[in-house]
Amino acid sequence: MGETLNGTSGLDIEAEKKLVDDTLKQLKAENCSEEFIKSAMKDLGIQRARKYGWPNTYVFSKAMGEMLLGHLKENIPLVIVRPTIVTSTYKEPFPGWAEGVRTIDSLAVGYGKGRITCFLGNPKTVIDAIPADMVVNAMIVAMAAHANQPDETIYHVGSSVSNPLELASLQDYGQRYFTKHPWINKEGRPVIVGEVKMLNSMDSFKRYLAIHYLLPLKGLQIVNTACCQYFESLYVELRRKIKFVMRLVELYAPYLFFKGYYDDMNTEILRRAAEESGVETDIFYFDPKVINWADYFMNIHLPGAVKYVFK
């Protein structure tokens, strides 16, 4: 139905849906546990996404959604807005609002609670982030601009071209914030954070994890068994932390070494046109160039994440 990311032919959305349905029915017919079914379906999604060049099911399903829109739109105006990493609000309805743990908030939660001491990534990688209210404003202005125009336009709403944010800066903001404002854990004690060791390849990450965590965890498992589960709570907690980091790496690995920038020229043209036509850009603002990332993360996003996301 549409062009795949790696040029592989044969993508049929109906066939993909049928494969999902048939696989799910088969697993249920075999009386597999809910946990096994969930894991198997996740694996299937990743497998199908990577077959056509997408790194995960999330972006694969979004791409298929765009294909369907293009196929079915006929003469209806179609505007596709592609936001990058959506972060907490810049100003409206109030600064720092967020709902649920999303994207880089997973890193904030993990680091602030002391679960992350190392991570995979190139410090120079640009993290393409954009506050949620800017995304909403861009959508509103785009809808108004394209009303009754039977065309198809794509807007990338992000910051990598206009106001790039490097991973090293993000790490610095997190360390500075949580050093000054440590998270208070359930026992009422502040969580002391340190500098996160950045590992610049998957091989170095696996070596570091094996030496510093997996081998000691295996030793603890043996001791725990020998001592009749005396260290069970410690073992479970350490295993949970390792799984948490592995899950984050699995989720973000395709993006941590990404060297591309998302062309936001259409969005910039839209912003200028709105400004020239008298749109109240102080209300419908979506210019990422106005963001001071240090101020935003230190005084808006991270305090908001602690207030609305941390539990």
Whether the pLDDT of residue 251 is over 90: the answer is no
Question: What is the domain partition of the chain in residue ranges?
Answer: 1-72, 76-308
Q: Choosing from 62, 197, 243, 289, which is the catalytic residue?
A: 62
- H or E stretch including 80? strand 78-83
Q: What is the pLDDT of residue 31?
A: 93
Asked if residues 160 and 177 have their Cβ atoms less than 8 Å apart, the reply is: no
Angle at 262 between CA 258 and CA 265, to 5 degrees: 165
3-class state of residue 194 by DSSP: coil
- Which letter does DSSP use for residue 298 in this model? I
Q: Higher pLDDT residue, 292 or 114?
A: 292
Q: What is the rounded CA–CA span in Å between residue 190 and residue 178? A: 10
Q: What is the rounded CA–CA span in Å between residue 98 and residue 6? A: 34
Q: What is the rounded CA–CA span in Å between residue 42 and residue 102? A: 18
Q: What is the pLDDT of residue 1?
A: 66
Q: What is the pLDDT of residue 232?
A: 83
Active site residue 90: no
**With 0-12 CB in 10 A as exposed, 13-18 as middle and 19+ as buried, what is 180?**
exposed
Phi, psi of 35 (to 5 degrees): -65, -40
Whether the pLDDT of residue 88 is over 90: the answer is yes
Q: What is the rounded CA–CA span in Å between residue 207 and residue 51? A: 28
Mean pLDDT along residues 186-196: 87
Asked if residues 124 and 166 have their Cβ atoms less than 8 Å apart, the reply is: yes
Q: What is the rounded CA–CA span in Å between residue 169 and residue 159? A: 14
Beta bridge partners of 153: 79
Q: What are the DSSP calls for 254-279, one per residue?
A: HHHT-------HHHHHHHHHHHHTT-
Mean pLDDT along residues 21-35: 94
Mean pLDDT along residues 148-170: 90
Q: What is the pTM of this model?
A: 0.81
* Portion of the chain with pLDDT greater than 70, in percent: 99
98-111 pLDDT, tens digit each: 887 777 788 888 88
Q: Choosing from 18, 58, 218, 289, which is the catalytic residue?
A: 58
What's the pLDDT band for 204 if we cut at 50, 70, 90?
Answer: confident
Active site residue 261: no
